[in-house]
Amino acid sequence: MLRRARALLLGALLSIPSTAAAQILTPEAHFGFRLGTDRRLASADAIERYFTLVASQSDRVQLLDLGRSTEGHAMLAAVVSAPENIRSLDRIRATNLRLSDPRTLEPDEARQLARTQPLILAIGASIHASEVGATQAASELLHDLAAASDPATLALLQNVVVVIIPSLNPDGQRIVYDWYEKTRGTPYEGAPMPWLYHKYAGHDINRDAFMMNLAENRNLARFLYGDWHPQVFLTMHQMEENGPRFFVPPNTDPIDPNSDPLIWRSAALLGGAMALQLQRDGRSGVVSSAKYDYYWPGFEDSAPIGHNTVCLLTEAATVDIASPVIVPATELRAGFKGLADYRPQINFPDPWPGGRWTLRDIVDYDLSAVRGLLFAASAYREQLVQNFYDLGRRAVQKGRDGGPFAFIVPQDQYDPATAARLESLLLAGAVEIHRAMEPFRADGEPYPEGTDIIFMAQPYRAYVKTLLERQSYPARRSAPSGTPERPYDVAGWTLPLQMGVKVITIERRFEPPSLTRLTEAAIPAGAVWGERKPSWWVVDARGNGAALAVNRLVAAGAAPSWTLGGIDGSGFHYGPGSLVVPHSKNAEPVIAGIAAELGLRVEGMKGKLPGNLQPIGRSRVAVYKPWTASIDEGWTRLVLDQYEFTYATLTDQQVRTGNLRSQFDVIVLPNLPGDYLTAGPSGEVPPEFAGGLTPLGVDNLRAFVRAGGTLVCLGASGSLAIGAFDLPVRDLASDDERLFVPGSIVRLDLDPKQPLAFGMPQETAAFFAFSSVFASASAAGPTAAYADPSLAAGVRTIARYGSEDVLLSGWLEGEDRIAGRAAVVEAPIGEGRVVMFGFPVQHRGQSLATFRLLFNALFTSPQAAGRK
Ligand SMILES: [Zn+2]
C-alpha cells in the first residue's frame, strides 16, 4: 500500500510523459478536419477507428467493448489512465467492487484502500444522437488525455481512471449522420429527421434506464453496476438553442428522498468545478440549479444514483446538427424552473449576449467542463472513493433498521410471466433477491417456501426502494396560488403497480428463513392437468403471458379460441377468455411450453369442442408510422415484438392510396392528436415526408372501419376517430385546467364481461399523463360532463378510472374530474369498430398492467376471426 502511495506522488512530481505526444495521431490528422468544424461530422466508424488507433499507440489507453446495440453495432469505450493504472486495471476493478459492498469490507480496511485507490469516472456522450457535440468532442478528449505531458494532467491520470464512451446510442449516431449527410447543402440541411434516432425509442432511449427494454441500457447497466461501477458518471447532452449556453450540476428540485444527501453535495462540488473551469476559459452563459431534476429514476444519469454513483448532467445549447445557428439577443429566453428571467443571477452570473453559435462552441464548452470535472475528481479522489463506501454502508444500515425492512414477491401471481419480468429487471439493476427455502412469518403473516424476499439491507437500497414504493410527489408551485411546477419527467412510476405484480411491503424486521440468492428470475412451472391424450386443451389465459401463448400457438399452426362462457375443469373453473385449443401434433410442444415457461394452468379435455367460442389471434395488424418521428409508435413496435406479434408498418403514402381493408384487419394509430396525424410534420421536410394522412387518408381509414376493420386509437389519436366518425364521445380532459396529472398511476376498473378486458383482473392500475377522460357528447347542458359514453347508442365502456382514491402513485389534482369516468371505449361502426385507449396502455414498454388491453384489441378483430 505504501509503495503504491509513493508511486502516486513520484509520478506527479517527476511528470514523465509515458508516451511521447508526437506518437499519438491528432484527431485533425485522422479525420481530415478539426472536430466541430461547421457542417462537418465525424462518422461512427471513423470515431471507432480513431479510438482503436489511439489504444494501439498509447500505453495510457485500453479499449472496452460494452456490448452490442439494438441493431448490432459495438458500444465502445476507452479506459484512459496512467500506464501503471492501465496495467493494474483488474486489481483496481476488484478493489472497487469490494468498496461497492460494505458488507464484505471493514471500515478500517476501506479507509486504507481509499488512500490509494484511483477514482473511476465515466463519461457517456450523446445518448440523444441528434445532440452530436459530445460524440464529436470525445476523440479530442481522448487525444488530450493520451498525449498530454503537462504535470497537472499527468497527476490527474494517476488519480483517476477515465472511461470515455463516445456514443451511448451507436445506432442513432449512424442514423443522424446519414440524415445530415443526405440533407447537407439542401433546403433541409440540419432539419429534424422524419424518423426516430433509435429503432424503437428515439429520444426515450434515455427514459428506459430501470426498465431495460433496450440493449443499450442493459449494456450500460452491466458496465455501471457490475463490471466497473464508477463513482462518478457524467452524461453530456444538448438543449434548446435560444436559452443559456450550458447547464452544469447541481440539478434543481425535487430530489428523490431516498438518495443519500452526500450524493447531492458531491454533484454540487463537481458541477461547481465544471462551472469554474468554463468561466476561467471565458465561456459565458453557464447555468446551474435549474430546469433538470433527478426525481425520476429512469434516466441513464439518474438510475445510477441509487447505486451510490454521483451522476452529472451537462446540456449545451444546440445547433442544427452540425450547422451553425444565429441567436439574436432579442430571442434569448429563460422561463423555466430555477431561471425565470434571462438576466444575471447567482446560478447564471454571466449571460451569453447572443450571436453565432457553432458545433465547435459546443465541443469547446464540453471540453472545458470535462477538464474542470477531472481536476476536481483528482483533487477530491480520496474523499470521493471513501464516500462511495460510506454511501453503501449507510444504505445497508438503514435497511437493517426497517421502514421498510423488505419487499416480498409472492409466488402466487395473477400474471407469472410479468412477475418474472419485474424480478429480472431488478436483478439486471444489481438488486439482490433471495428465495425462502422454508416457510416464514413477516408482519404477522405466514409465507410459504419459495417466496421471494428483497431485503432492504443492501447497498443499492435507494434504487430498489424508489422503484417499488409509491411516490407522493412533493408538489411545488411558482407562487402559492400560481401554476404547478411540472416535474421534468413523470411524478409516479411504482413498478409493482405499473406492471400489475403483487409485491408486499414489510415494515418491521423479521427473522429471515434459510435463503438462497436468485441469479435469474424463473417462473414457477404450471402443470398440465387432465387427459394425457386430449381432444382439446383449455388454458387459464391470464395476463401478458397468455398473449405470448396465443401468438406461439398461432405460429405453430394451431387455432386458439376464447371461450365466451367459461368451462368447468377438474376442480377449477376456467372463466370467460380462457383459451380453447383443438389437439394437434404441432400444438403439443407449445402447450407444454405454455405450462412450463409461462406458468399458466393447462388442462387436457376429452370429447367435442365446447360451444360459444371466438377464434382469435390471426388478425393482420398494421402500425401507422407518421413522419413526425413518433416515439409512441416505436414503443408500440417494441411491445409487439416482445410479445411475438407479427405486424406491418403503414406509411402516409399507403393510407392515402387506400384499399386498406383487403390488406389489414387492425390498424393502430400512435399517441398523437388527430390534427397532427392529418397535417403531418410541421416545418421544412423533404416533400416525400410532408402532408400527413391528409383528409383523403382519413377517408380511407373511415372506409376501412366500415368494411370491418378495427381502428385502435392510442391516447390522443382518439380525437381523429371522434372527428372522422362523428362519435358521440368527447374528451373531457382536453380543455379542463382543473385536472392536472403529470405522469402518475391511477386506479382502473374493468368490465370483465367485455372480451377487450379478458385475461385482466377486475381492478388494476393505469399510467396517466395528461391523458383522456371520455364522456358522452350526446347529453346536453350542465350534466354533459357526467354522462357516460355508454349512454350513447352502441358505445361500450370497457374500463373506467377508479371511482374513489383514484391516485395510486405520483401527483393528481382534480380527482372529481376523472373519478369513475370512461378510460377505454369501443364504438361499433358499420361492420367494424374503433377502440379508443384514453391513457397510454403500453407506456414506454413499462405499463405491463395494461398491455393486455392492446393485445386483446389486436386478437379480436371481428372480421378476421373466420379468415383462413
Ligand atoms: Zn438530451
Say whether pLDDT at 783 is over 60: no
Instruction: Quickly tell me which residue has 364481461 as its cell.
Output: 753
Say whether pLDDT at 1 is over 50: no
CA of 359 to the centre of ligand 1 (A): 15
CA of 240 to the centre of ligand 1 (A): 10
pLDDT at 862 (0 to 100): 59
Angle of CA points 486, 204, 757, to nearest 5°: 85
Contacts 24+ apart (CB under 8 A), 442-451: 442/406, 442/408, 442/506, 442/508, 442/510, 443/506, 443/507, 443/508, 443/510, 447/408, 447/410, 448/411, 449/513, 450/411, 450/524, 451/408, 451/409, 451/410, 451/411
CA of 81 to the centre of ligand 1 (A): 28
**Per-residue cell: 252:** 434543481
- 676-685 confidence digits (pLDDT tens): 999 999 888 8
Closest Cα to residue 26, out of 147, 164, 166, 157? 147
CA of 128 to the centre of ligand 1 (A): 5
Pairwise CA distance, residues 805 & 815, whole Å: 8
Please report which helix (H) or strand (E) contains residue 759, including its range: none
CA of 486 to the centre of ligand 1 (A): 18
Instruction: Determine what percent of the chain is predicted with pLDDT higher than 70.
Output: 95
Closest Cα to residue 367, out of 655, 793, 36? 36
The model scores a pTM over 0.75: yes
CA of 736 to the centre of ligand 1 (A): 31
Q: Check: CB of residue 359 under 8 Å from CB of residue 324.
A: yes
CA of 797 to the centre of ligand 1 (A): 39
CA of 231 to the centre of ligand 1 (A): 22
pLDDT at 526 (0 to 100): 85
Q: Give the distance between the most distant pair of CA atoms in the chain.
A: 90
How are the residues of the chain apportioned to helix, strand and coil, as percentages rounded to the nearest 5?
40, 20, 40
Please report which helix (H) or strand (E) contains residue 791, including its range: none
CA of 354 to the centre of ligand 1 (A): 22
CA of 243 to the centre of ligand 1 (A): 15
CA of 262 to the centre of ligand 1 (A): 26
Instruction: Quickly tell me which residue has 384499399 as its cell.
Output: 659
Instruction: Quickly tell me which residue has 433546403 as its cell.
Output: 187
Peptide bond connecting 353 to the previous residue in cis, omega within 30 degrees of 0? no
CA of 315 to the centre of ligand 1 (A): 7
Helix (H, G, I), strand (E, B) or coil at 394: helix
CA of 322 to the centre of ligand 1 (A): 16
Q: Check: CB of residue 617 under 8 Å from CB of residue 859.
A: yes
Helix (H, G, I), strand (E, B) or coil at 20: coil
Cβ neighbours, 10 Å, residue 40: 17
Closest Cα to residue 734, out of 781, 769, 772? 772
pLDDT at 867 (0 to 100): 47
CA of 131 to the centre of ligand 1 (A): 6
CA of 5 to the centre of ligand 1 (A): 40
Sign of the C-alpha dihedral, residues 76, 82, 84, 89? negative
β strands within 401-451, DSSP E: 406-409, 434-436, 440-442, 445-447
CA of 192 to the centre of ligand 1 (A): 14
Pairwise CA distance, residues 26 & 177, whole Å: 22
CA of 275 to the centre of ligand 1 (A): 19
CA of 293 to the centre of ligand 1 (A): 14
Reported as half-sphere exposure (CB side, CA atoms, 13 A), residue 79 has a value of 27
- 239-293 confidence digits (pLDDT tens): 999 999 999 999 999 999 999 999 999 999 999 999 999 999 999 999 999 999 9
Backbone φ and ψ for 319, nearest 5 degrees, come out as -120, -175
CA of 235 to the centre of ligand 1 (A): 9
CA of 166 to the centre of ligand 1 (A): 15
CA of 238 to the centre of ligand 1 (A): 5
CA of 482 to the centre of ligand 1 (A): 29
**Per-residue cell: 706:** 366500415
- 476-504 confidence digits (pLDDT tens): 877 777 778 888 899 999 999 999 999 99
CA of 454 to the centre of ligand 1 (A): 33
DSSP string spanning 92-116? HHHHHHHHH-GGGS-HHHHHHHHHH
CA of 762 to the centre of ligand 1 (A): 39
CA of 208 to the centre of ligand 1 (A): 13
CA of 239 to the centre of ligand 1 (A): 7
Say whether pLDDT at 2 is over 60: no
pLDDT at 3 (0 to 100): 42
pLDDT confidence band for 514 (50 / 70 / 90):
very high
CA of 462 to the centre of ligand 1 (A): 25
CA of 126 to the centre of ligand 1 (A): 7
Q: Say how many residues make up the chain.
A: 868
CA of 631 to the centre of ligand 1 (A): 15
CA of 604 to the centre of ligand 1 (A): 54
CA 415 from chain centre, in angstroms, equals 22
Looking at this protein, which amino acid is placed at residue 90?
D
Pairwise CA distance, residues 169 & 162, whole Å: 19
Phi-psi region of 126 (alpha: psi -120 to 50; beta: other; left: phi over 0): left
CA of 633 to the centre of ligand 1 (A): 20
CA of 314 to the centre of ligand 1 (A): 9
pLDDT at 533 (0 to 100): 93
CA of 93 to the centre of ligand 1 (A): 30
CA of 136 to the centre of ligand 1 (A): 15
- 686-732 confidence digits (pLDDT tens): 999 999 999 999 999 999 999 999 999 999 999 999 999 999 999 99
Averaged pLDDT, 371-391: 98
CA of 230 to the centre of ligand 1 (A): 21
Using the 8-state DSSP alphabet, how is residue 139 labeled? H
Closest Cα to residue 164, out of 378, 12, 360, 374? 374
Which region among 427-436, 472-481, 609-618, 640-649 has the lowest average model confidence (pLDDT)? 472-481
CA of 197 to the centre of ligand 1 (A): 12
CA of 219 to the centre of ligand 1 (A): 19
CA of 123 to the centre of ligand 1 (A): 14
CA of 87 to the centre of ligand 1 (A): 35
- 318-337 confidence digits (pLDDT tens): 999 999 999 999 999 999 99
CA of 463 to the centre of ligand 1 (A): 22
pLDDT confidence band for 22 (50 / 70 / 90):
low
pLDDT confidence band for 780 (50 / 70 / 90):
very low
CA of 237 to the centre of ligand 1 (A): 4
CA of 321 to the centre of ligand 1 (A): 13
CA of 369 to the centre of ligand 1 (A): 16
CA of 489 to the centre of ligand 1 (A): 13
Please report which helix (H) or strand (E) contains residue 852, including its range: helix 851-859
Closest Cα to residue 629, out of 670, 684, 668? 670
pLDDT at 5 (0 to 100): 41
Averaged pLDDT, 580-593: 96
CA of 213 to the centre of ligand 1 (A): 19
**For the CA atoms of the chain, what is the radius of gyration?**
29
- 520-530 confidence digits (pLDDT tens): 998 888 889 99
- 152-168 confidence digits (pLDDT tens): 999 999 999 999 999 99
Pairwise CA distance, residues 333 & 243, whole Å: 5
Which region among 416-430, 448-462, 687-701, 792-806 has the lowest average model confidence (pLDDT)? 792-806
- 388-415 confidence digits (pLDDT tens): 999 999 999 999 998 999 999 999 999 9
Say whether pLDDT at 814 is over 70: yes
For the chain, the average pLDDT equals: 94
Looking at this protein, which amino acid is placed at residue 185?
G
Pairwise CA distance, residues 647 & 455, whole Å: 42
Burial code (b: 16+ CB inside 10 Å, e: under 16) for 87-123 equals ebbeebbebbebbbbbeebeeeebeebbebbbbbbbb
